Each structure stands twice: as C-alpha cells, then as structure tokens.
Amino acid sequence: VPTAGRVELRDVTFGYPGAERPVLDGVSFVAEPGQTTAIIGSTGAGKTTLLSLVSRQYDPQQGSVAIDGVSVSDLGRHEMASVVGLIPQKPYLFSGTIGSNLRFGRPEATDAELWEALRVAQGADFVREKTHGLDERVSQGGTNVSGGQRQRLCIARALVARPRVYLFDDSFSALDVATDARLREGLGEATAGATVIIVAQRVSTIRSADQILVMDGGAVVGRGTHDELLESNETYREIVES
C-alpha cells in the first residue's frame, strides 16, 4: 500500500487551447497521502479540468502541479500510470477482454488480484455471470457492458494498478445509496495510505472527507471540513442544501 502521493497545486491557471478565458484561475491546494480530499462545485466549475491537470492530460499555462515534490511534467507516460489512477467521469474501455482492461496499468497482475479489485469495485458478480469471465471481450462502443458496469471496471482497473494517487471523477453519483456505501467502505481499505481525490455531488460522500474544496467559476472559493464549511461558506451551503 503506497504511503506517498502528496499532490500540490500552486497558483494554477489553465485555459483550453484556443479558448479566450481561462477555466482555472489561480488554483492552489495540497492533498495529503492517507487522506480523502473531496471537490464539490456546480457544473462547469472546472472540477474535471482540475483532475485532468493532475493526471497530466494538459499542462497549466501558469503555476505548477507536483506529486511528492516532482512536477508531473517531468513524469513519463508510463511512470504517470503507476503514480496516478484516474477514474474518468465518462468511463471508457479499450477493445480487448475484461482482463486486459483491468491489467492495463499493471500487466503482471494475477487473476486473483483482478478478482479482488472487482470485488471491491462491486463488479465481481456481473463478470462472473459473463460466459467467458475475465476473457469476455469488450469494445470501446460495445453494448455488452452497461454504463454502471463500465464505471466499476474502471474503478477496478485503477485499483489493480495500485497508484499513489486516486482521482475519482463523479464515480459514485449514479450508484444507488446502498451500493455507494458498500463500494466506498471497501475502497477505504483498498486505497488506505494513498492520496484520494473525489469529485462528488452527494453529501454522504463528501461529509466524511478530511478536506473539502469548494469550486466556483474555476477558483477554489472554500476549503475545510463539512462542519467548518457549513458554518462559513455560503456557496457550500447552497450546494449542500439544494
């Protein structure tokens, strides 16, 4: 279990190529190993964009993004895969088998490790029901895996890779409350010691976080625990009470 993965953003400004206005403006925060940082904010606030900078799909125009003191721009693609596990808001699969998808970040993983990750991700049952199990073929646009199953496979894929940093982009909002609770309980154990950053909508997901960042219009407009923010932050109250 990793015990490092400190994420630090310093004064990050970013705009998409060709756009006139930046989407992120002066964002700074630290996410510590062993802790969960939740990010909350209205649609278009820049949450997904923020995660794409941490996973280095883009580089900021200003400021820095570092993991354990190393700028992510100094990490190679292969290295990046073992440092950061992103579970995207729109989960995707590669053409291949379920097993090859799960092994993407760590080709040497055993079948037992894949099943354990599937168990935690609440995906073992539906894979077991497939005729070919881990060898069942899936494709990018395939319909033999539902949206929710796709999401669980992406969570399992991240777990198999054992990264230092997990980025969950709205991975739990579509789950029913019971599955959500079961999944996050298992994840708590499986990701212990790593840095966990969760973009979330549900109060039950957010309130147990060690730190909550409130985003609005590309800026961090509040940070603290649930109780602290309820007390002090109007934007947080509006989001939580809506």
Give the binding site for ligand M5T (CB under 6 A): 16, 19, 23, 41, 43-49, 89
Q: Give the one entry of Mg ion, ligand M5T, none that residue 16 binds, where binding means its C-beta sits below a cut-off of 5 to 8 angstroms depending on kind.
A: ligand M5T
Q: Which stretch binds Mg ion (CB under 5 A): 48-56, 117-125, 146-154, 227-235?
A: 48-56
Neighbours of 213 (CB within 10 A): 23
Are 21 and 181 a contacting pair, CB within 8 Å?
Answer: no
Distance from C-alpha of 233 to C-alpha of 185, rounded to nearest angstrom: 28
Q: Which one of 67-75, 87-95, 150-158, 205-213 is the stretch in contact with Mg ion (CB under 5 A)?
A: 87-95
| Nearest residue (CB) to ligand M5T, 124 versus 219 | 219
Nearer to Mg ion, 89 or 179 (CB): 89
CA distance 105 to 44: 29
92 binds, among ligand M5T, Mg ion, none (CB under 5 to 8 A by kind): none
Distance CA 166, CA 159 (A): 9
The binder of Mg ion chosen from 48, 55, 151, 195 (CB under 5 A): 48
Residue 71 contacts residue 65 (beta carbons within 8 Å): yes
The HSE-up count of residue 72 (CA atoms within 13 Å, CB side) is: 28
- Of 89 and 201, which has the nearer Cβ to Mg ion? 89
Closer residue to ligand M5T (CB): 23 or 87: 23
- Beta-bridged to residue 37, according to DSSP, are 197, 211
Chain residues binding Mg ion by CB under 5 A are 47-48, 89
